[in-house]
Amino acid sequence: MPAKIHFAMSPAAIEVALLAAALEDPAAGAVVTFEGRVRNHNAGQLVTGLEYQAYPALANKTGRTILEQEARQHGLAGACAVHRCGELGIGDLAVWVGVASAHRDAAFAGSRAILERLKHELPIWKKESYVDGTCAWVGPDNVQTEMAGAVERLPEMVAALHGIYLSDGHDFRGRHGLDRLDHGIVEVRQVECVAGMGLRGDRYFGHQPDFKGQVTFFDKATVDAVRKHLDVAALPAGAFRRNLLVSGVNLGEWIGKRFRFQGIEFEGCEECRPCYWMDTAIGAGIESFLKINCGGGLRARILTDGLLRVDAPTEEA
Amino acid sequence: MSASQTYRISYFGVLAERRGLREEWIACTGATPAAVYAELTAIHDLGMSAGQLRVAVNDEFSSWQHALQPGDTLAFLPPMSGG
């Protein structure tokens, strides 16, 4: 029996319930659906909305062909996709893919294949508007078209990552003249970097547009030096309330530069200047101690999404 | 010199923006999409080479060496960005 196929370009909001109902099939043990939504950031810029310009006559044929080919390839019972055109706001549904098949493997693989092909083969073009009032056409994989073809290869920051520290609240910020708070620090093995926003789960995530301290790098050598200085070998690295504990790198060299680290792009903004709270939190004289050679760490913006993983011995090891 | 033919041209995405319009009728001597695009880029600063684009003739993807007929519709397609 041939697969049920439905493809449409829609200038109006996508009616998900109707589409899902069309995939009902007593022989289908697996239904996978995917919703692609308009994200509020791309490549380090805050996005306020976007416009899809389509070539409808060719898009309808192309979309249908993709669904037919992938349904055959993966043995799907049904495949359906709708792509929006026109103007969309943040959070709006931009593309919907649903497939039905007897078993889950085919449903997952088939829906993924359809989505990837729609992104690259459907004759539709995305124009993003940004919070600063500018806009740009973006190409596949959301690279700005103006930059496409000349994508610069950023220098690699070679460093080992020993620990990732997150906190869900501010202990010092805005507390001048008051006691510090104590939100605690969570040490994790990996963390999601979200371009323009920060580290998922950290107090500075989405703090403010274009924030310079979306993430902070901190040199393990500094922690070791402070431990020696205070003669407190057990001083936890998280006490400094910086995010990424690294070694083998001169952090000061990356101020004002863009770089890659673990495949993710960052922009080094400024030294994370130590404040007087460090004397309270760590020990007397530590504020001035940290002022030597970017000892307070490096504040950076996150330019692309990705996952950071600890790849060196952790503090406990 | 061969006689010129008339074609309808569609531009999309960044090309439409650079050309300043979505559609136009043109008369040119080129008889393949490659030749037509070369003539267009000689007049307009479109900023993209044919190698970066795909082309459709009469609403079907086409080769750049396709033999055009008078009145054909050509669409020049920058890298697509669905999803």
As annotated, the residues of chain A forming the CATH 3.90.1170.40 domain(s) are 4-142
Contact B79 A140 (CB under 8 A): yes
B51 touches chain A (CB under 8 A): no
Positions of E strands within chain A: 4-10, 30-37, 41-42, 45-54, 78-84, 86-89, 93-101, 124-130, 135-138, 160-166, 186-188, 190-194, 198-199, 215-219, 244-247, 258-261, 264-271, 298-302, 306-309
Contact B16 A53 (CB under 8 A): yes
Give which of A58, A60, A61, A128 to mutate to test B binding, by max B Cβ within 10 Å. A58
Which residues, other chains included, contact A65 with Cβ-Cβ below 8 Å and sequence gap of 6+?
A: none
**Taking CA atoms, what residue in B is nearest to A60?**
B59
Residues A6-20, mean pLDDT to the nearest whole number: 94
Superfamily of B5-77 according to CATH: Beta-grasp domain (3.10.20.30)
Contact B16 A139 (CB under 8 A): no
Contact B81 A83 (CB under 8 A): no
**A152: confidence class by pLDDT, cuts 50, 70, 90:** low
Residues A8-30, mean pLDDT to the nearest whole number: 94
Contact A127 B13 (CB under 8 A): yes
CATH 1.10.760.10 corresponds to the domain A160-309: no
Contact A125 B13 (CB under 8 A): yes
pLDDT score of A222 more than 60: yes
ipTM of this model? Answer: 0.93
pLDDT given for residue A145 in this prediction:
60
Q: Which two tokens stand for residue B30?
A: 């080129």
**A146: confidence class by pLDDT, cuts 50, 70, 90:** low
Residues A85-97, mean pLDDT to the nearest whole number: 96
Residues A120-124, mean pLDDT to the nearest whole number: 94
In B, which residues are within 8 Å of A139 by CB distance?
A: 78-81
- Between A130 and A151, residue with greater pLDDT: A130
pLDDT given for residue A274 in this prediction:
87
pLDDT given for residue A316 in this prediction:
57
pLDDT score of B48 more than 50: yes
pLDDT given for residue A315 in this prediction:
73
pLDDT score of A317 more than 80: no
**B2: confidence class by pLDDT, cuts 50, 70, 90:** low
Architecture label for domain A4-142:
Alpha-Beta Complex (3.90)
Positions of E strands within A142-263: 160-166, 186-188, 190-194, 198-199, 215-219, 244-247, 258-261
As annotated, the residues of chain A forming the CATH 2.40.33.20 domain(s) are 160-309
pLDDT score of A148 more than 50: no
CB-based contact A93:A37 (threshold 8 Å): yes
pLDDT score of A150 more than 50: no
Q: Which two tokens stand for residue A226?
A: 């402070």
